[in-house]
Homo-oligomer: A and B are copies of this chain.
Amino acid sequence: MKRIVVVLIAVLALAGVVTYMAPASGQADGEPSPIYGITIPPGYRDWKLIAVDQLLVPGKADQLRAQLGNDIAIKALKEGRVPFPDGTIIAAIHWTRVRSEDNDRVLAGPFPGAQSFVVGSPVNVQFMVKDSKKYAATGGWGFADFTDGKPGDQALHETCFPCHTPAKDRDYVFTHYAPQ
């Protein structure tokens, strides 16, 4: 069966029909996060959008953020299914928030006083990986936090699960699926 599926995928890829396979079927690469041993999932930047948000910690952080999910995550979120099934991965991408003078100039005509903020540079990217057996001690979730492709240290990763415990009734996931 496996060989047949591979052949079928190859045929469809040649037909230009399958374009999303490569990232989802790729292998993890790079240095793993401490404690949880999670590497950056290939192709995560092309996952579907869960939601966006903004974080402001005056003097410390000023970010625009997006949460993306693999197919298992998106399906569970759309169905409102909790707990998330094993195999769920949620990615949280954080960028600096910067004022767009270009946009402001354009908006000034139709929308006087408009302020547009766009993403600046990458800050970090975080992952939650559901494996109810492997990560039984932390609610079934493994955590990872990467900056410039390098995982943060053990002390940083020790903060992940305690911080997520207030969202226990939503299986430790803060983000809600954005409507529309």
Interface readout for A32-63 with B: 1 if CB under 8 Å, 0 if not? 00000000000001111101111111101100
| Stoichiometry, copies per complex | 2
B12 in contact with A125 (CB, 8 Å): no
Nearest 4 Cβ contacts at the A-B interface: A122-B180, A54-B117, A56-B115, A52-B52
The CA-CA distance from A15 to B12 in the complex, in Å, is: 14
A residues neighboring B (CB under 8 Å): 1, 5, 8-9, 11-12, 15, 17-21, 45-49, 51-58, 60-61, 64-66, 68, 71, 74-75, 93, 95, 97, 100, 102-103, 105-107, 109-111, 113-119, 121-122, 125, 159, 163, 166-167, 174-176, 178-180
Contacts of A45 in B (CB 8 A): 48-49, 180
The CA-CA distance from A75 to B20 in the complex, in Å, is: 12
A12-B5, A125-B180, A179-B122 given; A114·B55 CB < 8 A: yes
Q: State the Cβ distance, A46 to closest chain B Cβ, in Å.
A: 5
**Closest residue on chain B to residue A53 by CB atoms:** B118
**Closest residue on chain B to residue A49 by CB atoms:** B49
The CA-CA distance from A179 to B93 in the complex, in Å, is: 10
A46-B48, A116-B53, A180-B95 given; A174·B121 CB < 8 A: no
A110-B163, A115-B56 given; A179·B74 CB < 8 A: no
The CA-CA distance from A166 to B106 in the complex, in Å, is: 7
Contacts of A95 in B (CB 8 A): 52, 178-180
Contacts of A179 in B (CB 8 A): 95, 119, 121-122
